C-alpha cells in the first residue's frame, strides 16, 4: 500500500530558463526606481501598491513607464515628500550638483551669499563700483543655482539652462581656477572628454580675448557664448546620454543606443523621457 504525498507549493519557484519574474525581482525593481528618481526607498504601502500594479499589467513596458512617470510627474501630496514631482526635481538637482560642483550644500552657498552681500554693502559704501558689480554678479549666479529645481520643475528653464547655471557660478570657478582648468573641466564634465588642442585654443581665445571662433559646430566670441555653446551643442546631448547610462546602468551607451537617443533628445530636450527609455528596459530592471 502506497501513500500519496501532498503536493508542496514553493512560491516564486520557476525552472531555470523560464520567463517568470518573481515578486522579489519586482520589489527590487520598484526599490531601485524609487532610489534613483527620488532618493529614497518606497514605504511598505507604496511597495505593495506598485508591485501589485506591475503584476496586474503583466509587467509590461507601459506599466513600467507608468511607475517611472508617476515619480517624475505626480503632484499628489505624499507624506514626507510634499509630492513625488518635487522630490524628483530636488533629487535631480542634488545629483547634478554632485556632478558639476562637488555636491556643495545649499547651506554652504547660503552662508557664502551672506558674506558676499556684506562685501557688496562695503563696496557700495566705499564707492567701489567695480567691486560692487562683481559681487552683484556673484549673488545673481548663486540665486540662479538655488532656483534650478523650482525653475526646472515648472519648465521655466530646460536641461541646457540647468547646466549653464552649474558652470556659471563662483563655486565652479573656484574648483576650476583659470581659463586652462575651466575649459578642460567643462569638456570633461559635459562631454566626458578633453578638448583637442585646436578646440582648446579656440575656447581660450573666446574667453580670454573675446575673439570670435567656431567650436563643436557653433560660433561665439566671449565667455558667455562659450558656456552657451558647451551647454547646447549636439555633444552636450551626447554627454547627457552618457551620464544617464553611467548613472542608471553603470556603462556607456553603445553607438547604436547613442544614435537612437540623438534622433529626438536634442530637439525635445526631455531628460525625463531619456530616463524612462533606459529604466523600462529588462537590463535596468534585472529581469
**Taking the model in full, what pTM does it have?**
0.90
39 three-class SS: coil
pLDDT tens, position by position, 38-75: 999 999 999 999 999 999 999 999 999 999 999 999 99
pLDDT tens, position by position, 226-282: 999 999 999 999 999 999 999 999 999 999 999 999 999 999 999 999 999 999 999
What pLDDT does 37 receive? 98
Residue 199 to residue 58: CA distance in whole angstroms? 51
Cell 508542496 belongs to residue: 8
Residue 70 to residue 74: CA distance in whole angstroms? 5
What pLDDT does 79 receive? 77
Mean pLDDT of the 3-32 span: 67
What pLDDT does 20 receive? 84
pLDDT tens, position by position, 136-185: 999 999 999 999 999 999 999 999 999 999 999 999 999 999 999 999 99
Higher pLDDT, 80 or 101: 101
Share of the chain above pLDDT 90, in %: 91
Residue 256: enclosing H or E segment and its boundaries? Answer: helix 255-262
> Lowest mean pLDDT: which of 28-42, 78-92, 93-107, 143-157?
78-92
Residue 264 to residue 262: CA distance in whole angstroms? 5
What pLDDT does 19 receive? 63
**Domain residue extents for the chain:** 23-87, 90-174
Higher pLDDT, 18 or 49: 49
Mean pLDDT of the 22-26 span: 96
Contact 30, 50 (CB under 8 A): yes
Amino acid at each position: 500500500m502506497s501513500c500519496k504525498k501532498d503536493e508542496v507549493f514553493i512560491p516564486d519557484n520557476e525552472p531555470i530558463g523560464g520567463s517568470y519574474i518573481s515578486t522579489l525581482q519586482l520589489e527590487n525593481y520598484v526599490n531601485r526606481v524609487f532610489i534613483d528618481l527620488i532618493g529614497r526607498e518606497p514605504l511598505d504601502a507604496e511597495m505593495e501598491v506598485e508591485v501589485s500594479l506591475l503584476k496586474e499589467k503583466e509587467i509590461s513596458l507601459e506599466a513600467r513607464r507608468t511607475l517611472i512617470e508617476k515619480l517624475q510627474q505626480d503632484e499628489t501630496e505624499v507624506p514626507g515628500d510634499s509630492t513625488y514631482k518635487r522630490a524628483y526635481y530636488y533629487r535631480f538637482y542634488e545629483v547634478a550638483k554632485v556632478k558639476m560642483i562637488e555636491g556643495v550644500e545649499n547651506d554652504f552657498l547660503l552662508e557664502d551669499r551672506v558674506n558676499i552681500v556684506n562685501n557688496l554693502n562695503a563696496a557700495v559704501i566705499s564707492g567701489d563700483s567695480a567691486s560692487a558689480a562683481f559681487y552683484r554678479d556673484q549673488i545673481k549666479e548663486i540665486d540662479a543655482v538655488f532656483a534650478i529645481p523650482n525653475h526646472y520643475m515648472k519648465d521655466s528653464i530646460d536641461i541646457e539652462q540647468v547646466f549653464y547655471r552649474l558652470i556659471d557660478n563662483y563655486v565652479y570657478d573656484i574648483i576650476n581656477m583659470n581659463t586652462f582648468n575651466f575649459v578642460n573641466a567643462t569638456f570633461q564634465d559635459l562631454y566626458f572628454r578633453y578638448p583637442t588642442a585646436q578646440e582648446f585654443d579656440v575656447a581660450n581665445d573666446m574667453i580670454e580675448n573675446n575673439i570670435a571662433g567656431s567650436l563643436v559646430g557653433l560660433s561665439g566670441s566671449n565667455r558667455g557664448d562659450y558656456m552657451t555653446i558647451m551647454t547646447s551643442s549636439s555633444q552636450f546631448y551626447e554627454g547627457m546620454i552618457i551620464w544617464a547610462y553611467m548613472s542608471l546602468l553603470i556603462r556607456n551607451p553603445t553607438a547604436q543606443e547613442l544614435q537612437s537617443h540623438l534622433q529626438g533628445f536634442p530637439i525635445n530636450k526631455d531628460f525625463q523621457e531619456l530616463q524612462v527609455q533606459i529604466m523600462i528596459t529588462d537590463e535596468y530592471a534585472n529581469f
